Amino acid sequence: MSPNANHNGSAHHDHGKCVADALAAAREICDQRGERFTELRGRVLELVWESHRPIGAYAVLERLKADGRSAAPPTVYRALDFLMEVGLVHRIESLNAYIGCAHPGAAHASQFLICKDCGTAEELESPAVDAALAAAAGDHGFKIAGRVVELSGTCKNCSGS
């Protein structure tokens, strides 16, 4: 993994710390919720964060195998499903990929800005978007249970160049 990372070109970005923070937060959240943050789940979450952009389930699987661990698709899908239920990971539907949640711990409806050039996916939580969606759904008598909002395009850094 690139030690430098720095997703969107902005300044520096201590990737190791960022991953470690995410893991620490995850552990705490699971503790609070009485969920087991097992070694496997931790490793999967770590791999998702290390990628620092949406990563496919099978890419996670390959990395697990590279650890020397025995793993099969259900191994990773179960871990990802758990992490999504707890709110530590999001699934990007338009990419069939997964990414670490930027703001775990709080229920939230997020939106994603997916750059076609660099592959990063920035997580947003725009109240305005959320309100507009709620209003639009309400107009049609629709009760929202789940939201998928994914914009593809060019991110700030990539459009500069």
Partner DNA sequence: ACAGAGTATGATATACTATAGCGAGGCCGG
Partner DNA sequence: CCGGCCTCGCTATAGTATATCATACTCTGT
Nearest to 63, CA basis, from 81, 78, 76, 82: 76
Q: Which of DNA, a second copy, none does residue 16 bind to, with CB < 5 to 8 Å depending on kind?
A: none
Give strand pairing partners of 126: none
Out of 7, 15, 41, 53, point to the residue binding DNA (CB under 7 A): 41
Determine contact, residues 153/116, Cβ cutoff 8 Å.
yes
Q: Which of 14, 36, 74, 126 binds a second copy (CB under 8 A)?
A: 126
CB of residue 69 vs DNA: minimum separation in angstroms? 6
Nearest residue to 114 via CA among 132, 99, 129, 126: 99
Question: Which residue in 25, 40, 102, 149 binds a second copy (CB under 8 A)?
Answer: 149
Which has the closest alpha carbon to 130: 152, 142, 115, 148? 148
73 binds DNA (CB under 7 A): yes
Rule CB under 7 A: is residue 94 a binding residue for DNA? no
| Min CB(96)–a second copy separation in Å | 9
Q: Which of 145, 110, 116, 130 shows the shortest CA–CA distance to 54?
A: 116
Give which of a second copy, DNA, none residue 122 binds (C-beta under 5 to 8 Å, depending on kind).
a second copy
CB nearer a second copy, residue 2 or residue 70? 2
Instruction: Compute the distance between CA of residue 57 and CA of residue 133 in angstroms, rounded to an integer.
Output: 29
Q: Which of 104, 81, 89 is CA-nearest to residue 28?
A: 104
Binding site for a second copy (CB under 8 A): 93-94, 111, 113, 115-116, 122, 124, 126, 128-129, 131-133, 135-137, 140-156, 159
